Structure 1
Amino acid sequence: MHSTTTTTTPPPPPPLPLPQTLDLIHHLLSLLLLSSLTVKSFITRWQILRTKLTHLQITLTQIIDSTHYSENPLLIDLLPTLLSSLTNVQSLLEQCQKKEEHCFGKLRMQSDIDIASSLVSSHLHDLDLLIKSGVLRQSNAIVLSQPGPGSSKEDLGFFVKDLFARLQVGGIEFKKKALDSLLELLKEDEKSAIMVAKEGDMRYLVHLLDSNHLLQVREQAVIVVSILANASDLSRNSVFEEGGLGPLLRVLESGSLGMKEKAAMAIEAITSDPENAWAVSAYGGVAILIDACRSGSPLTQSYAAGSLKNVAPVEDIRVALAEEGGVSVLVHLLSSNNRSAQEKAANCLWILASASENFKNSILQEGALQKLLQLLQGSSNPDTLEHVLRAIYSLSGSVLSIRILSYSTPFLLQLAEIIKHGNPTTQQISASILCNLSIADSNKRLMSGCMGSLVKMMESTKPIGLQETASKALVSLLSIRSNRKELVRDDKSVLKLVQMLDPKNELVCKKFPICVISSILAGGSNGCRKKLVSIGAFLHLQKLSDMDVPGAKKALQRLAGNRLKNIFARTWRE
């Protein structure tokens, strides 16, 4: 029977206290600085490294002068690593002090010195960051509590600096905890985003989005960046100025589902600033956004469509969008069950159709008009209605569109309903569409119920152009006799029209009510004349005619009608 002996690895020695570690580092640094003066090989490289070691010695003196450096957990990790790096430098130095040239392994030695020099630079960067952040002078450096809602700016600023120090200097666990704390801070206090943008190292935060970082760290970083991009103008601009758009587009292209959604949200927020929109093309982002619209999750599709809508006014991006098949993808989104994506796609199509005839034709060829009409019929949401109506208006100038829209009774009835019950914006767009169409008399009769609303719209000074649009739409409907009679029977609307003629009423441009009154009188109805004369139209038109207001004389002649005939007949008899 054989006996086996089990060897156990002794546990690693406990870490030295920070003051003792610092003493060892100082002693080693003094030796290295002295010995580097007598080096025999690679003298130029050692001169560079000696300069860094001198800087390191000064930096460590500043750390010792910091009141609470021994309490900071980041130094517990940093200083032993630094001691190890300096020990390696000592070994290299001893080899280079020998007289013989290192013919064998010369390149290897050069590489080792360069690596050691790079490590010293990295340690210097981390130590400088800790000193500049001020965290080494705080007594609560071990466990830093989350600032409450009533915390001072100083406390909040220190907390943010400490988090970013842990984020940059610490290992993976420090980074995770720092990002967790950052997320908690941003979610609890919206104003903290401004402080994070001011006091935090946004460039490093953006750097964490790169694919060479641990997935969990990237996921947290994307969420933080997305919150900052949406929180305020300052934090959004900070993300963009520190180069955040490019990495966010890469995440949208190849990240996980959750990361793509957060990245798309951030991109939409960044591109909402017209001054940032051009950069999407510079990063090759148009194709990425189109692909996200094509195959992303509902949230990703919505944010990506919003980003395309934001950047569509840029001519270079429109060219790229056409080349990448973006029109087809946007039209397809109109048929999705994603209301937000539908709205943004419709809005983007409106911008594109308004930009050129080529885009307008391309959008029509993809069958967008029919899908827009279906979307309009199936929605009562004011935002959706507005975006869809804008898109329809931009397409309503073509011959084919005019024919389809003019003979679509359900669509025309919905336009009349929106004119009656919509908000000022949707009312104006609906009236603008109506002006572009060649509507049959039968459908004009069906739309007569919105004429009173058009008269009321003529009184509004906002939005700009509403009075003109309403008057043109009203004149179109008044081309048939039954509508003229119906409007005259509406005492309230007729009184409003006459009041608009009053020269003292400066809120309404006179050519609009004059045009409508002329249309009412175009059929030569005595009943219409009498009604208008009885409520003062004649006197107002006479004053406007004397003032040479365009159209006033013609309207006055139409209104006088039989009265002039009677005057001539009486004169003849006499």
Structure 2
Amino acid sequence: MHPIRTTETLTLIHHLLSLLLLSSLTVKSFIGRWQILRSKLTSLQTSLAEISDSPHWSENPLLQDLLPNLLSTLHKTNSLSDSCHDPSFAGGKLLMQSDLDMVSASLSALLHDIDLLLKSGVLRQSNAIVLSQPGPGSAKEELGFFIRDLFTRLQIGGIEFKMKALDSLVQLLIEDDKASVLVAKEGDVGYLVRLLDSSNQSPVREQAAMAVSVLATSSDSSRNSVFEEGGLGPLLRLLETGSSGLKEKAAMAIEAITADPENAWAISAYSGVSVLIEACRSGSPVTQTHAAGAMKNVAAVEEIRTALGEEGAVAVLLQLLVSGTSAAQEKAANCIWIFASSTEDFRVSILQEGGLQKLLQLLQESLNSDTLEHVLRAIYALSASPSTAMTLSSSSSFILHLAELINNGNVILQQISASLLSNLSINDSNKRAIAGCMGALVKMVETSKPVGLQEVAAQALVSLLTVRSNRKDLVRDEKNVLRLVQMLDPKNELVCKKFPVSVISAIVAGGRCRKKLLAAGAYSHLQKLSEMDIAGAKKALQRLAGNRLKKIFSRTWRE
């Protein structure tokens, strides 16, 4: 509508409002309903006066739809007023009540839209409704105004305005990382969530799902805003019944929302456990990945973890280990680890579903360090079962792979691999086969972080040093000997002394391999540690001294 026509329309509305306000005072029938109508007409008159005072109201395209609708509603109201003033009116009473209620509802909706438009402030800006998107470095005021403008179009406009507003909103959220915080503050996230309802047209629903998904994954404040506005329930319904594209967007948002432990519990409140499992079972690769991530998040809650087990989550997750994307495998392995670490019932279920074999297969195939970490942790938890520990202990390929990870993996993989080596009953043949990882284990003993690394590395070394040839191999490398002796030095505060002491004691347990340790100065350090009552130091000192003490006693006897 042209600005001049918009002005003419507003003039007609003002005139018609004045007539209706006067006639509502003298109406003879349905007086109660007309009192309600008069209140709404008065509010409209006030709001329209504020519109007239706004310098650029006539340029706003939203009013080009809103004002004609208001004029039409007022004409209907005026016609009903004439009928209620006519003493000879013979129309049906119930029909008149219904017609009055309908125009009252229409006036309420129009009043809401006008007030929303006024509060947004867009009527005070020239060409506000067609503002170009602010750049990444724009001021907060400019960006905030643009966001209020978008949500005004979104709530008042028809399908065309809604789609353009949603497109602009999604573009803004994707291109500007900081925009999500302002959208949560300046926009109406609750209205955006309501657009996810199945009653909305498909294009609107799909773009709204994209906007909600980006909000949920962008920042803590925008994620919390989506959750607090009740977004989790509609997102779970989308994940259950939406199109493939909607399911993917919903799964992303659900994973992000449940990453907050305080939100994870709500999955059960919305009956979301079975929805997540089904999404992992039959969704697209993207949906499976994010649904597995959400499942991993909520599995931390004991009650939900139990429900997941009862609904058959274990079998679905184990299948993802085999057929899922790399990202899905990582998240599924993480969830399996959580299950395996919780109860014996879960460990039994995982083993009955062939979980150990699937984990071992993924351990061999995956190149992702995070996936390997979760797989190793899950295997470690399963090794609490004697039968599983026996299977792992006798698997040469598994033992060799642990040694490979100790030599070349990151520190976390090294630590878990060493833990497994120290806990398993490995035969001497396999211990000899992995002697090449002892140097890496020695380095781990002198590394203070992460907590527990020194202990498991020392334990793994002590286990490997029960084989005579391994003891020889270890001391043959002078670097290993120097590292161990330096760790014994009481001045070296980075290493807990009982760990290198236990390794030294294991090296000299067979009565050999002493010369290099003695030459490197191990004896004097052990003497001091023995005087300090360090666990195992006296025993290690006695073993290291060996023939030296015999010679001293022999010389004393001869003298």
Quote how far apart the aligned CAs of 1:222 are. 1.0
Structure 1 pair 203–565 and aligned structure 2 pair: CA distance change class (3 A): same
Cα offset, 1:142, TM superposition? 4.9
Q: Distance in 2 between matches of 1:96 and 1:529?
A: 115
User: Which residue, out of 314, 333, 351, partners 1:346?
Assistant: 333
| Counterpart residue number, 1:275 | 262
Could you say which residue in structure 1 is the equivalent of 2:22? 34
Q: 1:108 to 1:15 in 2, by over 3 A?
A: farther
> Matched residue of 1:355: which SS?
coil
Cα separation, 1, equivalents of 2:412 and 2:120: 51
Who is 1:7 aligned against?
none
Q: Which amino acid aligns with 1:565?
A: K
Residues 311 and 317, structure 1, Cα contact 8 Å, conserved in 2: yes
Task: Determine if the alignment matches structure 1 residue 549 to structure 2 residue 534.
Answer: yes
| Percent of residue pairs identical | 70
Match of 1:428 in 2: 415
> Is 1:186 the equivalent of 2:173?
yes
Report matched runs for 1:166-181 at 5 Å.
Answer: 166-181=153-168
The within-5 A match list for 1:446-465 is: 446-465=433-452
Give aligned pairs, total: 559
Contact 2:526 2:541 in 1 (8 A): yes
Say whether the 8 Å CA contact 1:397–1:436 is kept in structure 2: no
Quick one: which amino acid aligns to residue 413 of structure 1?
A: L
RMSD of aligned alpha carbons: 1.9
Q: Deviations over 1:492-517 (max 9, x none)?
A: 11211111111111111111111111
Partner of 1:213: 200
Q: Partner of 1:6 in structure 2?
A: none
1:511 equivalent to 2:494? Answer no
Alignment counterpart, residue 507 of structure 2, candidates 520, 528, 553: 520
Contact 2:209 2:246 in 1 (8 A): yes
Q: Distance in 2 between matches of 1:462 and 1:288?
A: 41
Question: C-alpha separation between the residues in 2 aligned to 1:55 and 1:350?
Answer: 62
Corresponding residue for residue 360 of structure 2: 373
Match of 1:289 in 2: 276
Tell me which of 356, 361, 366 is aligned to 2:348: 361
User: Counterpart of 2:187?
Assistant: 200
Decide whether the 8 Å contact of 2:393 with 2:426 is kept in 1.
yes
Are 2:77 and 1:89 aligned?
yes
Structure 2 vs 1, CA of residues 56 and 485 (structure 1 numbering), >3 Å: closer, same or farther?
same
**Partners of 2:314 and 2:89 in 1: how far apart?**
68
Residue of structure 2 aligned with 1:73, choices 58, 61, 65:
61
Which stretch has the larger CA shift, 302-311 or 378-387?
378-387
- Contact map agreement 1:265 1:303 (CA 8 A) in 2: yes
> 1:428, CA displacement in angstroms?
0.9
The normalised TM-score by structure 1 is 0.94
Once residues 557 and 129 of structure 2 are traced to their aligned partners in structure 1, the CA distance between those partners, rounded to angstroms, is: 112
Partner residue of 1:5? Answer: none
Write out aligned runs for 1:46-445 (5 A). 46-97=34-85, 105-445=92-432
CA gap 1:263/1:337 in 2 versus in 1, 3 angstroms: closer
- Secondary structure in 1 aligned to 2:289? helix
Structure 1 residue corresponding to 2:518, chosen from 512, 525, 533: 533
**Conserved 8 A contact 2:289-2:324:** no
AA aligned to 2:546 is G
Distance 1:480 1:101 in 2: 111
Structure 2 length-normalised TM: 0.96
- Quote the Cα distance in structure 1 between the aligned partners of 2:282 and 2:5: 56
Relative to structure 1, the CA distance from residue 384 to residue 142 in structure 2 (aligned partners, 3 Å threshold; closer, same or farther) is closer
User: Whole-Å Cα distance in 2 between the matches of residues 553 and 49 of structure 1?
Assistant: 98
Residue of structure 2 equivalent to 1:8: none
CA distance in 2, matches of 1:374, 1:245: 36
Q: 1:463 to 1:241 in 2, by over 3 A?
A: same
How far the C-alpha of 1:35 sits from its partner, in A, is: 2.2
Rounded Cα–Cα distance in structure 2 between residues aligned with 1:137 and 1:479: 84
Q: Deviations over 1:318-353 (max 9, x none)?
A: 122112111111111111052211111111000111
CA contact (8 A) 1:264 1:300 kept: yes
